[in-house]
Structure 1
Amino acid sequence: MTKKGDMLYAWTNDAEIQKKAELGGAVTSLWKYALESKAVDAVLVVTRGVDLYDAKPVLITDPKDLASTAGSLHCGTLLIPKLIKKYLDGARDMKIGVTVKGCDAMAFYELAKRKQINLDNIIMIGVNCGGSVSPVLARKMIADKFAVDPEKVHKEEIDKGQFIIEYEGGHKGISIDELEEAGYGRRTNCRRCKMKVPRQADLACGNWGVIGPRAGKATFVEVCSEKGANLMDGAIKKGILATEPANPKGLDIRGKVEGAMFKLGDKWRKKDFEGLGEGRDRLKKIMAETSRCIKCYQCIDQCPICYCVDCTTRNPAYVPPGELPVNFMFHLIRYAHIADSCVNCGQCEEVCPAEIPNTLFMHAQQVELEKMFGHVPGVNMELPLMAYVEEKTERERLHNTGSDMIYENVFNPFTKH
């Protein structure tokens, strides 16, 4: 019997999945079993659209359709949880399986804290993530640094510290460090990320630590919950999945890889945050950068923390409408609402037409608040102060009472308890 804490090598026994799968096809096989056994009603996956720079979310209900979704997509930068909240009613009445990166898992927890997603109806299989590459920058990087036509590239991967492409006529790899020093490589939020193995998920999977005869042919699986253990047991019993205990040396290698990624994240945090300056200098820099804002609301639409029905940034008493440059109050409201829970997913920066480094500003503030109050977003169900109230209920109370003390019925830090 599989149990929480087990470390395994796993691979598929399904011939169809074997043809297309990477690293043993364990994740695809687990989702196939989950659908066939009715453990989930559907699986939401990100797959290739028109090309490898186009990430497309697909909701799958037929197990036969899963094999075509196998494989990684490093130029896909979608965030899954907000899609489930917006289009699938937060999984309130539907059981959904999801493959998640670290930032996805963190966003699921933050939305669940705010009662926007029903985690009881979600099964998460986490995948180790060294980072993703913006599709627009990826095209430019491949043309400039690899001297290859981006349209001719049919496969990409990140392995052993390199970004590797396969194209008509050959393959080529360049060091991630070299690419990033030249302004290319992973998204800046990914460089700062320290959520490399998403253990908040039910299973944490990847290729780190798979050595010996199974290298490249199996998936490393860390069992992180009872829900994950049950999924593994069912797939093994069904015969779709085979496993063996992970090689002890592989465990050590996996730990070292994760540790190296942590150090790299610290390095980029130091560089990025110090570059912002402190105090008034930081404020001036943020105000200068955000002065390009055209108030398109894409940062709010894509943010996994923003969920208010009546967004304060649309209240003319706070943010005058029809003005450019946008009143800085627009950004102050966002910082006040989100900074304690920012998961550094990069969405607000990815979609910004003015190319404002929104994620950098928000992440820098989140880290400072974490130092002050100790709250780490996205790792468990512990609530930050801003998540203690339910928006619709609280707005109704404010309307009825005329009070502006949003937290008076929850927690007032200035009174004795």
Structure 2
Amino acid sequence: MLMSYVLAKSKDSAILEAGECGGAVTSIFKYLLDEGIVDGVLAVRPGVDIYDGVPTLITDSEDLISTASSYHCAPTLMTDLIQTYFADKKIAVSVKPCDIRSMDEMMKRHKINPDNVYTVGLNCGGTVSPITGRQMIDLFYDINPDDVVSEEIDKGQFIVELADGTEKGVKIHDLEEEGYGRRNNCQRCSVKIPRKANIACGNWGAEDGWTFIEINDEKGQELIDAARNAGYIETKNPSEKSIEARSKVEGIMIKMSEKVQDATYVDTVAMEDWNRCIGCYACRDICPVCWCFENCELNKPYFKDELNIPPSPIAFQGIRLSHMSFSCCNCGQCEDVCPMDIPVSLIFDKMQKKYCERTGYVAGVTDDIKPPLYSPEKTEL
């Protein structure tokens, strides 16, 4: 895998003012739209408020300014949206690590054509539930949540900014000790930089007013060169100090995740957890990698049980685990939508880790080992 580093920032004054850490991501998207290289940009912009991150298809580059910020209350639906609605379009998309991991799994299944997609990765320290976000700011910051204009995770703190430019931060650890802060799956996620994306962008290690970009493949390199040559961004090489600072931040975030994994992973699942399952199929339907609904095993006649409707929890979840646990990218959506508060994501992520221990395969990350769908290992296992 090609990997190099560059610092970049927008040459558009409006984007510089509105964007995060130099606005390079927004300007790269603007270049792709203006030059007609893509049909649209799939990004996130606020809906009702900044806690309501809404995936939006932008086709007019003048509208990109509305996406020029950071949203930690962001959805993880990008793979579903591209596969379902834009499979035949040329799309540029902003992706968090779990987004690109699920997208990579769908590319392996030939459900997304990588030639049609430009993936602009966003380094991620975690996302926050919209409802939890508003509650924790009200409780821990002594601030009206409606007065917050932006937020970020930096140096172990969740930091909010008000309209007058003042900032207030609270340690993530303190928030999460009280049941707030990042979503549970984000707390245990150890993939913080989306290296399967063409480029991975963020403020870790960046100088003020610049975006630190890791270029991960030839397509990413060509994109950066073309956007710079067309006058949309300016670039410079990062210092060794910047590279080391970025690596240090990533390392700290991964160590935090590993501590959470050690504390939360369980060897067995209590039957009372499974027995709460009502077979609503919400976890199946929201999963970005579970795609074959029409031919789903759970819809087959021999699975129907007239005497046991919905199907028994063990049968339902057992089929899901056998089909999908090795492909879990820890996006956490299954747990988000479960009406019975079953720790579905935790269980699937634990199973994926066990599969990795046996085969070395990490869903949406590993290149040199085929996924179980194509691997002779599946018979042995």
Please classify the TM superposition score into its range, dividing by the shorter chain length: over 0.9
Partner of 2:299: 314
Letter in 2 for 1:185: G
Contact 2:76 2:98 in 1 (8 A): no
Contact 2:96 2:194 in 1 (8 A): yes
Partner of 1:229: 221
Q: Distance in 2 between matches of 1:168 and 1:125?
A: 28
Partner of 1:383: 370
Partner of 1:401: none
Contact 1:124 1:202 in 2 (8 A): yes
Contact 2:205 2:246 in 1 (8 A): yes
Deviation at 1:168, TM superposition (A): 7.0
Q: Could you say what secondary structure the match of 2:220 adopts? A: helix
Partner of 1:301: 285
Q: Deviations over 1:150-194 (max 9, x none)?
A: 334332221221112234786421100111111111111111111
Q: Distance in 1 between matches of 2:5 and 2:123?
A: 14
Q: Distance in 1 between matches of 2:217 and 2:372?
A: 27
Q: Deviations over 1:266-321 (max 9, x none)?
A: 11111111xx2x3xxx14x1x31132223222211111221112211223522536
Q: Could you say what secondary structure the match of 2:80 adopts? A: helix
Gaps of at least 5 residues in structure 2 are none
Q: Distance in 2 between matches of 1:412 and 1:59?
A: 39
Partner of 1:393: none
Q: For residues 21 and 327 of structure 1, do their structure 2 counterparts lie closer, same or farther at Cα, with a shift above 3 Å needed?
A: closer
Contact 1:5 1:222 in 2 (8 A): yes
Letter in 1 for 2:355: L
Partner of 2:179: 183
Alignment of 1:144-163 (within 5 A): 144-163=139-158
For residue 132 of structure 2, the aligned residue among 137, 140, 143 is 137
Q: Could you say what secondary structure the match of 2:74 adopts? A: coil
Partner of 1:200: 196
Q: Deviations over 1:23-42 (max 9, x none)?
A: 00000000111111222121
Letter in 2 for 1:384: P
Q: Distance in 2 between matches of 1:207 and 1:412?
A: 40
Partner of 1:41: 39
Deviation at 1:138, TM superposition (A): 1.5
Q: For residues 238 and 168 of structure 1, do their structure 2 counterparts lie closer, same or farther at Cα, with a shift above 3 Å needed?
A: closer
Partner of 1:63: 61
Asked whether 1:8 is paired with 2:9, we answer no
Letter in 1 for 2:337: V
Letter in 2 for 1:173: G
Contact 2:284 2:290 in 1 (8 A): yes
Q: Distance in 2 between matches of 1:256 and 1:132?
A: 21
Contact 1:109 1:380 in 2 (8 A): no
Q: Distance in 2 between matches of 1:237 and 1:347?
A: 40
Contact 1:27 1:125 in 2 (8 A): yes
- Please report the RMSD computed on the Cα atoms of aligned residues, expressed in angstroms: 2.1
Letter in 2 for 1:249: K
Q: Deviations over 1:189-238 (max 9, x none)?
A: 11111111111111111111113xxx2x0100111111111111111111
Q: For residues 202 and 168 of structure 1, do their structure 2 counterparts lie closer, same or farther at Cα, with a shift above 3 Å needed?
A: closer
Deviation at 1:411, TM superposition (A): 8.3
Q: Distance in 2 between matches of 1:299 and 1:180?
A: 25
TM-score, normalised on structure 1? 0.85
Contact 2:45 2:54 in 1 (8 A): yes
Asked whether 1:95 is paired with 2:90, we answer yes
Asked whether 1:109 is paired with 2:104, we answer yes
> Percent of aligned pairs with the same residue?
43
Letter in 2 for 1:113: K
Deviation at 1:51, TM superposition (A): 0.9
